[in-house]
């Protein structure tokens, strides 16, 4: 019984406060911020002196990456393949309806943004829908404490999170907000569009002209997603993907994935499933694993652009399919 109780206590141990000014690496970080960006040492020491260690984000970031579905997902959806499990959660009737409402609510902004950046409204809405459920789930973790934890507690991505922590502190100074008051994802992503702090400077847009970029604001978030896609190579009036047919039920004839490109003339035995596909550039082959067969798609350059937002073919395909459902229903 004692053994069982001790395990429960370890698994449910609460987060705790920590003075990171006692951490040698944090001191080096503070010194750098004072020297390179002219921050007051006393201000930074106050921030870092009382940090709640974020144990859940640290556990999630520290786990080894795996392509296998979790035991929880396998138990919940035992009859489905990997794509079936993924899309069942990401592309839902409710999320489609919410996307329609979101576009209608911000119709004027979407219209202006689409004209300015050339990115269709339904794709912008689909990304925001999948990232944060249109603002309904922007994350519950304190960003400053989370980035501090991930920067200075041992994990394989310390260097990356130190850079993001630096960007976040600089962002809070420029945008004049208290870094302790912002919540987001377990990895430090913020707002409706779930941008990491480094993406604010590169892609963030003050679309409502209030003097600051805020991804908690839907107008700025909509424009910032479009800016991200445009700067990563989105092509106006070009398709994203189309399903194709092939012989058999499991596809192994050619290498699949968004990083491998083909001339369509190379791909024997493969053709668009629903008539002619108006796209003349090289294509990628995207394979979606289903329970009894592999679903195969041609992916265009714009599909690849979506993977710059999240480097997963399944993510990009869920954005595409949600966007198509939203577009069809509007």
Query: Could you please report the per-residue DSSP string of 133-157?
Result: TTTT---SEEHHHHHHHHHHS--TT
- Residues 6 or more apart whose CB falls under 8 angstroms from that of 7 comprise none
Element (H, E) at 163: helix 158-175
Give the CA angle between residues 58, 59, 61 to the nearest 5°: 65
- Return contacts of 99-102, CB within 8 angstroms, 24+ apart: 99/125, 99/126, 99/129, 99/134, 99/322, 99/325, 99/326, 100/326, 100/329, 100/330, 102/128, 102/129, 102/134, 102/218
Q: Is 153 an active-site residue?
A: no
Given a contact cutoff of 8 angstroms between Cβ atoms, the answer to whether 189 and 195 are in contact is yes
Options 114, 131, 153, 164, the catalytic residue: 131
* Active site positions, annotated: 131
């Amino acid at each position: 019984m004692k053994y069982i109780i001790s395990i429960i206590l370890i698994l449910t141990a609460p987060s705790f406060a920590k003075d990171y000014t006692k951490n040698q690496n944090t001191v080096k970080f503070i010194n750098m911020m004072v020297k390179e960006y002219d921050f007051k040492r006393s201000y930074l020491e106050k921030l870092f002196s009382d940090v709640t260690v974020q144990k859940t984000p640290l556990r999630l970031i520290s786990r080894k990456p795996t392509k296998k579905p979790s035991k929880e997902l396998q138990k919940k959806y035992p009859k489905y393949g990997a794509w079936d499990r993924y899309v069942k959660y990401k592309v839902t009737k409710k999320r489609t309806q919410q996307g329609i409402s979101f576009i209608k609510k911000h119709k004027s902004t979407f219209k202006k943004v689409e004209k300015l950046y050339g990115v269709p409204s339904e794709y912008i809405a689909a990304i925001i829908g999948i990232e944060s459920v249109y603002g309904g789930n922007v994350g519950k973790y304190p960003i400053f404490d989370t980035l501090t934890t991930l920067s200075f507690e041992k994990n394989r991505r310390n260097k990356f999170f130190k850079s993001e922590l630096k960007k976040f502190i600089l962002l809070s100074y420029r945008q004049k907000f208290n870094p302790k008051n912002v919540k987001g994802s377990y990895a430090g992503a913020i707002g409706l569009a779930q941008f990491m702090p480094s993406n604010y400077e590169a892609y963030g847009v003050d679309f409502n002209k209030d003097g600051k970029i805020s991804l908690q604001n839907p107008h700025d978030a909509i424009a910032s997603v479009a800016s991200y896609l445009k700067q990563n190579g989105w092509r106006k009036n070009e398709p994203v993907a189309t399903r194709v047919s092939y012989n058999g039920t499991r596809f192994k004839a050619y290498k699949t994935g968004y990083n491998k490109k083909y001339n369509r003339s190379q791909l024997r035995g493969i053709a668009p499933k629903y008539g002619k596909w108006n796209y003349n550039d090289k294509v990628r082959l995207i394979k979606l694993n289903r329970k009894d067969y592999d679903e195969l798609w041609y992916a265009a350059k714009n599909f690849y652009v979506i993977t710059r937002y999240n480097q997963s073919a399944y993510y990009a395909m869920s954005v595409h399919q949600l966007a198509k459902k939203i577009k069809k229903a509007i």
